Structure 1
Amino acid sequence: MTSSVDMMPGFDRMQLQAPFDLTYYNEQPLSGGKFHSHAFYEIYYFHEGRCTYLIGDSVFTLKPGDLLLMNGLTLHCPNVEPDSRYVRSILHFDPAWICKGLSETAKSILLDPFETLRNHRMTLTGENREEFEGMLADIHRLSSSTAGFRQERMTLRIQEMMYVIADWCQAAVQDHDSISEKERHVQHVVSFVEENYMLDLTLEGIARDMHITKHYLSSLFKEVTGTTVFKYVYHRRINQAKIMLRLHPHLSITEISQASGFKHLAHFSRMFKAMVGTTPEYYRRSGEELSLT
């Protein structure tokens, strides 16, 4: 299914041309950063500069040494301060290719940080930072060489990097695994909404995806979160609209309304005013700090 986001200006559905791709120590200024998504995983490392990174409705103010692990499907976009340096290394990879030939246990170890934590930020310091930057540099040197079995050797080095990352993420993954079944269901709803908020969602459709009844879904979500599923959906859509109003001034209010998941402009305007306290037009003009709640 093609979503409205795929057809909107200012969004990219990225394609991977090889099993993995490393952009190392990229110092080029970012011109017109776009929200994008892709069906491959991403390891993003921030070397230097001033940047706010938006992943879905999460906002990370980055500092040197920050490492982002992304499953790729969630819309994400860097917002770099004007006239600031923006130095980053980005590794995109196809998880099926990277894990080809490995045991199921090994696959689980390498992919758990991406699949369980989904979009995760950690800050590397000291020996961890030195080790990770050394691995990045080593993969980059190999990618630029004419050595025999270059791709196979790069795959091994990327696997080693992922083992190191998995080690660093063990505590966070274990904390996630210790959550209750009810909390796991609610996280499934949140993940489903994150990937589909721009589409025409129904309670029946979400419940069907989870293989539970819509009555059980409604009561469970309310019990754990204190709010309803569709209050959460509208909250997510309005947050997306706020991000787009700030970062995409070339888009009309109607385009932003549609890309955020609203069928009708009037409904969008009413919901935005009720939740934000002002109209979308005024919010765009106000120049206030980006605030996501």
Structure 2
Amino acid sequence: MSSSSSKGLPSFEWMQLKEPIDLSYYNEQPLISGQFHSHAFYEIYYFHEGCCTYLIGDSVFALKPGDLLLMNGLTLHCPSVEPDSRYVRSILHFDPAWVCKGLSESAKTILLDPFDTLRNHRMTLTGTNREEFEALLADIHRLSASTTHYRQERMTLRIQELMYVIAGWCQAAVQGQDSISEKERHVQHVVSFVEENYMHDLTLERIARDMHITKHYLSSLFKEVTGTTVFKYLYHRRINQAKILLRLHPYLSITEVSQASGFKHLAHFSRMFKSMVGTTPEHYRRSGDELSLT
């Protein structure tokens, strides 16, 4: 996670996933910081109980129990909780490319449209809808805490089911909305391009050429929308990929992990990994630490 600020914007954090799926379930911890944050992964936020006002961009939502927020992550957002107030929430962060891996294009569109088209959407769940959502959320939490075989694959299937349920609820709203803004479309294009090509040698010129814009405009646009630079995002993505490979593919050598993650030189990979993770790739693999959101 890196802190940054941008002209005309409050201080905020740019957050990164350390694994494709991260769930904080029924979190009752007091809010430590109300700092705005932004990220390139998608977020499903569910408010169980308490007192919270949620700020997303220029929108303010006074939450009540049963409220569900869908966020594409790129818009700055921040919960605001009064001191000593109860604040119980569940937050599911996920990499859309990972969750939709292997699905048809039509299925991807169905699952991601509520996030891409509505961008940041609030709905209030009641009755059987609330019961169904909370039951699915509890099941994902049960799997996340287990050591069963194919745990992450089973979690992915549950999250896909959860997203199909949400897509059904949002169908009318999605059909009545305009598409995402041009700036957000460009940034999402960059994120998708990096997702597909992080393992290759990338330059600003190559990314800008793919998008048919100048590299100066690309740099300023990405920084304006996300608060970070294209290359900071790229290196975070490569290091995150290295963590996934170190965890899920112990037979790969450190050199193979480095190359598969997009680093041409092992020494550069080792320096970047230690700088961003705080330990060496070798020690990270031996430690078996759980991957989690910083």
Structure 1 length as normaliser, TM-score? 0.60
Which residue number in structure 1 is paired with residue 40 of structure 2?
39
Larger relative contact order, structure 1 or 2 (CA cutoff 8 Å, min sep 6): 2
Amino acid at match of 1:164: V
Which residue pairs with 1:188 in the alignment? 181
Alpha-carbon offset, residue 11 of structure 1:
1.3
1:31: Cα distance to partner? 1.6
Residues 95/193 of structure 1: CA separation in 2 closer, same or farther (3 Å cut): closer
User: Highest CA radius of gyration, 1 or 2?
Assistant: 1
Fraction of identical pairs, as percent = 75
CA RMSD of aligned residues (A): 2.8
Structure 2: gaps of 5 or more residues: 189-210, 214-294
The size of the alignment, in residue pairs, is 189
1:73 maps to a residue whose letter is L
Cα 1:192–1:148 shift into 2, 3 Å: closer
State the partner residue of 1:135.
136
Is the 2:4–2:13 contact (alpha carbons within 8 Å) kept by the matching residues of 1? no
CA shift digits 1:63-95 (9 cap, x unpaired): 000000000000000000121100000000000
> Residue 5 of structure 1 corresponds to which residue in structure 2?
5
CA–CA distance in structure 2, aligned partners of residues 56 and 164 of structure 1: 26
Report the 3-state secondary structure (helix = DSSP H, G, I; strand = E; otherwise coil) of the residue aligned with 1:169: helix
Counterpart residue number, 1:77: 78
Alpha-carbon offset, residue 188 of structure 1: 2.4
The 2-side partners of 1:4 and 1:17 are apart by 19
Residues of 1 paired with 2:73 and 2:96: CA distance? 11
What does residue 25 of structure 2 align with?
A: 24
Runs of 4+ residues deviating >3 angstroms: 6-10, 189-195
2:47–2:88 CA contact under 8 A, matched in 1:
yes
Contact 2:3-2:14 at 8 Å conserved across structures: no
Partner of 1:105: 106
Residue 5 of structure 1 deviates from its aligned partner by: 2.1
Unaligned runs of 5+ in 1: 196-208, 212-293
Determine if contact 1:6/1:13 at 8 Å carries over to the other structure: no
- Report the Cα distance in structure 2 between the residues aligned to 1:29 and 1:194, rounded to whole angstroms: 33
Partner of 1:272: none
Aligned to 2:148: 147
Alpha-carbon distance in 2 for matches of 1:17, 1:52: 28
Q: 1:3 to 1:104 in 2, by over 3 A?
A: same
The 8 Å contact of residues 4 and 12 in structure 2, kept in 1 or not, is answered as no
Aligned to 1:217: none
Structure 1 counterpart of 2:20, one-letter code: P
What is the CA-CA distance between 1:32 and the residue it aligns to? 2.1
Cα drift, residue 10 of structure 1 = 3.9
Could you list the per-position Cα deviations for residues 90-137 of structure 1 after superposition, in whole angstroms to 9, with x for gaps in the alignment? 000000000000000000000000000000000000000011011110
